[in-house]
A and B are shown apart, each in its own frame.
Chain A
Amino acid sequence: MGIILEKTPIILNKIPGGTIALTTADFFINWARKSSIWPLTFGLACCAIEMMAAYATRFDFDRFGVFPRPTPRQADLMLVAGTVVKKMASPLIRIYRQMPEPKFVIAMGSCADCGGPFYDSYSVVKGVDKIMPVDVYLAGCPPRPEALMYAVQKLQEKIGKMEIKENSGATAGQESGARREL
């Protein structure tokens, strides 16, 4: 599908009225993408428990169509739930690269945002945005499941603004958005 998504905007832009078709296509594509966000079953630390609670009975993430997948190949969203330590950083980057485009990252909790209570530790990566691009930052130690839902809604808003015209989110260009090779 990559070729179609890349070439279609170029062709359609030349045709009169093509932009309207593009906008309509955008609407449907974005609707599909934001309606079915499949996160990776992957927890690092304390926040993972609140993430599990969000999938579970009272909060029920399935209502939004958020449905965890065990393998990165089938996931759209990486919920970095917990402290990223240096030993875990390179596996984390590898998992991020294994995910197919378009992929999104939510940094859940203070540790993933900036290091949190371990701000001066020799072993903690001070924020997951040092190793991969982050779409939504979620504060809290740990954030409540309601907060996680809010973060997912914010991500949905963000997905709703994507346009295939700009190739945003749908190309390998985002891959190079990771700040630097590690």
Chain B
Amino acid sequence: MKTGRLLTGTQRNWPTELWESPLSLPTYRRAFFLLIMLGLGGLASVWFIGEISDRINPLYDFAKTYLEGLGIPLFLIQLAWTIIKAGILLMVPVVNAICVVWWERKISAHMQSRLGPMYVGGWHGWLQTIADSIKLLLKEDITPNLADKKIHLLATAVALAPAIAAFAPVSFGKELVYADIDIGILYVFAVSGISVFGIIMAGWASANKYSMLGGLRAAAQMVSYEIPRTFSVVPVIMLCGTLNIAAIAEAQSGYLFGFLPRWFIFYPVVGQIAFIVFLIASVAETNRVPFDIPEAESELVAGFSTEYSGIKFSMFFLAEYSYVLISALLISAFFLGGGSPLLPSLSFIPSWAWFIGKALFIIFCFLWFRWTFPRFRVDRLMDFNWKFLFPLTLINILLAGIWSAEIKHMVK
């Protein structure tokens, strides 16, 4: 029989063996390679920062002596240095968002047997996010007629500014830290808590019911998940005796019995509970699936950002991804030993590479959750927080007390 112009059986090949292999099931075979690629790409990009941080102090000293020789007062030089550091700090969220969004699209695509961006910029669509951001910059900026125009504008700033400011006590290398303050943990939690106001303002000012529901949900969710998130760090603080992020990371260096790193996640029971609660609460704080109810696409259209277009919308985007990075860096510092290597024999890899590498792995976990889980319902979300996570953290603090009073000196 003639098949005419119709498709014949041999024209379409189904790679069923590939789809059936257990490695391509939810463990996502190709995503694993992407993880490696992500790690390598991330390391290459932070190499630059590491190099700067190694050379930055001699550079500063040299510049200082030179400029002092010219007769410029010291406070002006220090001011200029602060401004330069602030500039570098400002670049962090932008560069981070550009990279992470591209990774997210690539990783999610490979999890779903797709390819993701392929053409923009040539190699695997690596310029995709830059094209997106230029386009968003040039889009018309709409403020709805009924909106509260001042608050509508202010909300973006209130959401983004704390996200940038929260990076201040986070050290990106040995010397490249904007403000090395002793109460770093408190500062990060306090500042990042401000962002929720931006979201509530955005929800209210948009004069859109979906936005308002999104804002209300965000308020309820972020305020309540702040509590287990903070409480889950209390054991870390108790065991390390400091609030300085860098000091906490340093306190975890060394090895138990010569092979087990002294990372906090390896402390029996206390460490694991604290880590899991902090991870869950961090995902909730960053409004990502399965906790993305404030912007739940299928329910509230786009939640609080429904009425935001162009550059204002990208501000919220930037803030979200900044918090993802901050959470990853904090998890890396609190629970994964900061810059300490996994095995003593791996110590030839510089410490900043370990630090950023661990953070990148946590970012990958965030993306992985996002593309695997369905979304919680809003009341279940609250139940989960108040009836499960919150009591768990209190118990964990008790356990940490017992640990630090009774067991800590025995292990030493």
Contacts and interface: CB of A to CB of B under 8 A. Distances in A.
Given A28-B134, A32-B135, A36-B132, A1 B125 contact: no
A178 interface: no
Interface residues of A, number: 29
Nearest to B298: A70
- Main secondary structure on B side of the interface with A: loop
Interface stretch (A11-19, A71-79, A86-94, A108-116): A71-79
Contacts of A63: 115-119, 125
In this complex, the interface size class of chain B, counting residues with CB under 8 Å from chain A, is 35 or more
Interface in B198-213: none
Interface in A1-59: 1-2, 5, 28-29, 31-33, 35-36, 56-57
A170 interface: yes
B347 interface: no
B138 interface: yes
B242 interface: no
Contact of B119 (A64, A67, A69): A64
Contact of B134 (A32, A70, A101): A32
Interface in A90-126: 98, 100-102
Contacts of B114: 56-57, 60, 62
Interface string B136-168: 011111100000000000000000000000000
A56 B131 CA distance: 22
A60 B309 CA distance: 25
B128 interface: yes
A108 B141 CA distance: 28
Contact of A65 (B117, B139, B308): B117
Interface of B: 105, 109, 112-120, 125, 127-128, 130-132, 134-135, 137-142, 297, 301-302, 305-311, 313
Contacts of A69: 302
Nearest to A100: B140
Nearest to B132: A36
A93 B306 CA distance: 18
Nearest to A59: B114
Contacts of B307: 71, 73
Contacts of B117: 62-63, 65
Nearest to B129: A36
Nearest to B302: A71
Given A57-B114, A62-B117, A100 B141 contact: yes
